[in-house]
């Protein structure tokens, strides 16, 4: 019995967890010398979207033909080459959609459609009727094989399930006849709860019966119909089948993970390490209950490792919008790679790192003469370049009360072209934080500029009216002005080595002791940090007299 260490104050949960059993009491998992932990994924498996299968999407309002067609076209343009187009015996809609594709010649020559059928001869017949006229198709047979489903759902023992599968498979072979374009697939539904020897017996029997060969391979698809264990267990199950299947060169080993434990992606990746060559799933993880494994995440996980995903998600928002339209379900804003917020940083330290990373990336690309979009990517907190997914950098940094000087400066520069000098950033960031703390909201780039304007570009107690400056002798500037400065209002003059020092001298005449501590100017604005009667403040100015305005702005802020 394990004891709870003294540093862990957690208490037993009142929930009845004793009702549930660990996976090892539910299924035998043979695990010998595992090879998958040290394997690498170096190429994309064959991706097979099953979004169009009736029932599988579990939509309250199933897709109609126009929606299915839009989805199908999206899958084709994205680059999927094997696509499950329906469960034609399930409904008129699915049958009709398959016929719509066949009759309209909508399936490109390099795409193989898959149709799904249970192990019943009447439904198999309807399935073959649906694909009549297709030059290529995979007919996908399924039946649940695990003890609970055999006993509770099908009411058939192992022998009866074996006989059902055999009868169905023979019927499929008869219906396919000599058609060279028809291939077969088998799914032992609930594979992950099925005795491994039974899985091998069924799969090997079908490989023989369907006379699979390397030129006409059979697909054996091993689903985690309902997830029951950590992904390493699924990997062990897949590796066992991979290493023990007969006529392995004539079998495409496929997986179909669901996501009940939230580990569908991990299961699929570990399954590929364990020998799977094909992965079934849905875009953005739609599907029954918690969904099928998400093919977008899987493909882009490979992409982020420098592996060709063999599909194009270069405009991820267009893909997301189409899928949302067809499924009538939103994609979560935090969804990997595709969510609205996943490339956005709100917090100060992250914004700082991203801002520096983007600048470093641009510099390195320029130095090596490589276009930015081709240069190796190493920007902190951004696993992939948002531009590769069709996203602009606009949404990468957004500002609220959790933001810091880096993000504030980045946005102001990007949207208003105002490049705050490093010394000024903490002060302006404090102004922004006060405003966002007060509002409890995000500050848009427009609002940031308005805060900047209110703080630095509005008039204060000291106003500069008619003024001029000129160099009266080499290195000697004179500044002549009318200053509104309380009881010292009037005409003032000053001299200095430049216009600014001459202006400071004129301010002295109005009783203002000003030291310019720091000064910076970019194409749009000038910035000055001044000590004004002992108080230090930053100021800014824009336009042709930006430098003078910046000092005046610092004076007014110092006097506040």
Ligand X SMILES: CC(C)C(=O)C(=O)O
Binding residues for Mg(2+): 54, 256, 258, 292
How near is the Cβ of 244 to ligand X at its closest, in Å?
A: 21
Residue 153 binds which of ligand X, ligand ACO, none (CB < 5-8 A, kind-dependent): ligand ACO
Q: Which is nearer to ligand ACO, 113 or 404 (CB)?
A: 113
Question: Applying CB under 6 A, which of residues 57, 127, 219, 221 lies at the interface with ligand X?
Answer: 221
Which residues between 118 and 147 bind ligand X (CB under 6 A)?
Answer: 142
User: Distances from the Cα of 493 to the Cαs of 486, 498, 530, in angstroms?
Assistant: 17, 13, 20
Contact of 344 with 111, CB cutoff 8 Å: no
**Among residues 444, 497, 456, 499, which one has the least CA distance to residue 475?**
497
Q: How far apart are CA 355 and CA 47, in angstroms?
A: 36
Minimum CB–partner distance for residue 524 and ligand X (Å): 59
Whichever of 143 and 528 has its CB closer to ligand ACO, that residue is 143
Decide if residue 294 touches ligand ACO (CB under 6 A): no
Burial 107-131, CB ≥16 within 10 A → b, else e: beeebbbbbbbbbbeebbebbbebb
- Side-chain half-sphere exposure of 547, counting CA atoms within 13 A: 14
470: three-class secondary structure by DSSP? strand
User: Which residue is closest to ligand ACO by CB?
Assistant: 55
Which stretches of 190-246 are assigned E, i.e. beta strand? Answer: 218-224
Least spacing, CB of residue 78 vs ligand X, in Å: 21
The entry of ligand X, ligand ACO, none that residue 128 binds, CB within 5 to 8 Å by partner kind: none
Which residue, 194 or 297, is less far from ligand X as judged by CB? 194
Q: Is residue 153 close enough to count as binding ligand ACO by CB under 6 A?
A: yes
Mask for 185-204, x = binds ligand X (CB under 6 A): --x-x---------------
CA–CA gap between residue 507 and residue 492 (Å, rounded): 8
When binding is defined by CB under 6 A, the residue of 26, 81, 100, 120 that contacts ligand ACO is 120
Name which of ligand ACO, ligand X, none residue 221 binds, using a CB cut-off of 5 to 8 Å depending on partner kind.
ligand X
> Whole-number minimum distance, CB 126 to ligand ACO, in Å?
9
**Are the beta carbons of 196 and 240 closer than 8 angstroms?**
yes
Q: How far is the CB of 432 from ligand ACO (least distance, A)?
A: 51
Tokens of 172: 């499929």
Decide if residue 294 touches ligand X (CB under 6 A): no
Exposed/middle/buried for 5, CB within 10 Å: 0-12, 13-18, 19+? exposed
Task: Please report, to the nearest 10 degrees, the dihedral formed by the alpha carbons of residues 358, 43, 272, 373 taken in order.
Answer: 10
Distances (CA, A) of 382 to 189, 335, 353, 376, 530: 38, 14, 10, 13, 38
3-state secondary structure of 21: coil
What 8-state DSSP symbol labels residue 397? B
What's the distance, CA 435 to chain centroid?
31
Q: Which is nearer to ligand ACO, 140 or 557 (CB)?
A: 140
Q: Which of these segments, 193-201, 220-228, 266-274, 538-546, binds ligand X (CB under 6 A)?
A: 220-228
Site for ligand ACO, rule CB under 6 A: 53-56, 87, 89-91, 118-120, 123, 142-143, 153-154, 189
Site for ligand X, rule CB under 6 A: 142, 187, 189, 221, 223, 225, 256, 258
């Amino acid at each position: 019995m394990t004891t709870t260490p003294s540093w862990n104050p957690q208490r037993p949960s009142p929930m009845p967890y004793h009702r549930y059993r660990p996976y090892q009491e539910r299924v035998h998992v043979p695990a010998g010398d595992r090879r998958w932990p040290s394997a690498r994924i170096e190429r994309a498996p064959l991706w097979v979207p099953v979004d169009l299968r009736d029932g599988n999407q579990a939509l309250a309002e199933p897709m109609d033909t126009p929606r299915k067609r839009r989805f199908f076209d999206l899958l084709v343009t994205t680059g999927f080459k094997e696509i499950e187009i329906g469960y034609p015996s399930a409904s008129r809609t699915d049958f009709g959609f398959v016929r719509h594709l066949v009759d309209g010649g909508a399936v490109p020559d390099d795409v193989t459609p898959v149709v799904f059928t249970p192990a019943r001869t009447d439904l198999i017949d309807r399935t073959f009727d649906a694909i009549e006229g297709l030059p290529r198709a995979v007919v996908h047979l399924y039946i649940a094989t695990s003890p609970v489903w055999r006993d509770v759902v099908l009411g058939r023992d192992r022998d009866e399930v074996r006989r059902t599968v055999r009868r169905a498979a023979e019927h499929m072979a008869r219906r396919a006849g000599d058609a060279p374009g028809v291939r077969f697939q088998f799914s032992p539904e609930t594979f992950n709860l099925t005795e491994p020897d039974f899985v091998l017996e069924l799969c090997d029997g079908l490989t023989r019966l369907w006379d699979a060969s390397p030129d006409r391979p059979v697909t054996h698809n091993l689903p985690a119909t309902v997830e029951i264990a950590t992904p390493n267990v699924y990997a062990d199950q897949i590796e066992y089948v991979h290493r023990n299947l007969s006529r392995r060169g004539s079998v495409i080993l496929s997986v179909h993970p669901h996501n009940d434990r939230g580990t569908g992606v991990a299961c699929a990746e570990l399954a590929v390490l364990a020998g799977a060559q094909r992965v079934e799933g849905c875009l953005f993880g739609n599907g029954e209950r918690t969904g099928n494994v998400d093919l977008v995440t899987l493909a882009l996980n490979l992409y982020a490792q420098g592996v060709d995903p063999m599909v194009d998600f270069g405009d991820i928002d267009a893909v997301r919008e189409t899928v949302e339209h067809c499924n009538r379900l939103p994609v979560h804003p935090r969804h990997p790679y595709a969510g609205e917020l996943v490339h956005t940083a709100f917090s100060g330290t992250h914004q700082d790192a991203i801002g520096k990373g983007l600048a470093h990336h641009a510099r390195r690309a320029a130095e090596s003469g490589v276009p930015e979009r081709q240069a190796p990517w190493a920007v902190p907190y951004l696993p992939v370049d948002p531009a590769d997914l069709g996203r602009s950098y606009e949404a990468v940094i957004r500002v609220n009360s959790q933001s810091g000087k880096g993000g504030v400066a980045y946005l102001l520069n990007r949207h208003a072209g105002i490049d705050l000098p490093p010394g000024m950033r903490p002060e302006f960031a404090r102004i922004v934080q006060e405003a966002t703390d007060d509002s409890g909201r995000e500050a848009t780039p427009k609002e940031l500029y308005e805060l900047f304007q209110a703080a630095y570009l509005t008039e204060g107690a000291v106003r500069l009216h008619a003024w001029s400056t000129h160099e009266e002798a080499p290195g000697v500037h004179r500044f002549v002005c009318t200053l509104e400065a309380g009881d010292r209002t009037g005409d003032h003059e000053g001299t200095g080595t430049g216009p600014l020092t001459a202006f400071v001298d004129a301010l002295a005449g109005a009783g203002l002791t000003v030291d310019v501590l720091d000064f910076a100017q970019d194409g749009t604005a000038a910035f000055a940090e001044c000590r004004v009667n002992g108080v230090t403040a930053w100021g800014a100015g824009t336009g042709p007299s930006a430098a003078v305005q910046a000092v005046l702005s610092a004076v007014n802020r110092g006097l506040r």
